[in-house]
Amino acid sequence: MKLKLIFIVFFALISCKKEAQANKETNKKEAATVNKTSEALEVYDFNGLEKFLNFKDDKTYVVNFWATWCAPCVKELPYFEQLNEAYKDKSVEVLLVSLDFPHQYDTKLKPFIKEHKLKSKVLVLDDADMNTWIPKVNENWSGSIPATLIYNKNKKLFFEQSFNFEELENELKPFLN
């Protein structure tokens, strides 16, 4: 009887150990998937994003606030990409700040970035307290998008409008002199 009980306990322990190991492997795989998802997008609340709006180095930054659900935003994105390519060797950095909804990052935003082959740095702003952060970007901003901030350590301009490439380039050029 004792021997039978020892075998039962032994097999139970082995089964639990195998199940625990399988759960550990599943958890590792799930964690890796989550990490890949979070690594693919840089998601910030406004406190985290704010540093991107206030660099004091020798670059000029063109920061565009946009979303995949905003038709005028999508229409002008190629001009920001064109600007990024044309001025990448002239100390200009284009930052695309997505205001897409968090539940659509995987279904809309990521596929959009991939499909449109966006090369500019894409940051995601996930901060529902827009009444607090919108005036910190610009005190006159109504909150509508597209909106663009162009700045360097000496100058800062904000635009609540759409751009074509020529208009965007014309607003950038005074920052480069």
Same-domain check for residues 90 and 144: yes
Closest CA to 43 of 93, 100, 111, 120: 100
Q: For the whole model, what pTM was predicted?
A: 0.77
SS3 139: coil
Exposure letters 35-60 (e unless 16+ CB within 10 A, then b): eeeeeebebbebeebeebbeeeeeeb
Query: Over the stretch 113-146, which tens digit does the pLDDT of each residue have?
Result: 999 999 999 999 999 999 999 999 999 999 999 9
Cis ω before 146 (30° cut-off from 0): yes
Share of the chain above pLDDT 70, in %: 77
User: Which residues are within 8 A (CB) of 126 and not within 5 positions of it... i.e. 6 or more apart?
Assistant: 43, 44, 45, 102
What's the pLDDT at 177?
74
Q: What secondary structure letter does DSSP report for 161? A: S
Provide mean pLDDT across the span 89-100.
96
Residue 94's pLDDT band, with cuts at 50, 70 and 90, is very high
For residue 33, give its domain range: 2-40
Are 145 and 118 part of one and the same domain? yes
Assess whether 10 and 84 both reside in one domain.
Answer: no
Residue 34 shares a structural domain with residue 92: no
Confidence of residue 17 (pLDDT cuts 50, 70, 90): very low
Q: Are residues 116 and 80 in the same domain?
A: yes
Confidence of residue 31 (pLDDT cuts 50, 70, 90): very low
Rounded Cα distance between 170 and 174, Å, is 8
**41 has pLDDT over 70:** yes
**Burial annotation 113-124 (CB, 10 A radius, 16+ → b, else e):** beeeebebebbb
pLDDT at 34: 36
Stretch 23-51: mean pLDDT = 62
The mean pLDDT of 90-105, rounded to a whole number, is: 96
Instruction: Look at 9-13, 20-24, 55-59 and tell me which has the smallest mean pLDDT.
Output: 9-13
Q: How many domains does the chain have?
A: 2
- Residue 106: the pLDDT is 94
CATH number where 120 lies: 3.40.30.10
Beta bridge partners, 159, equal 148
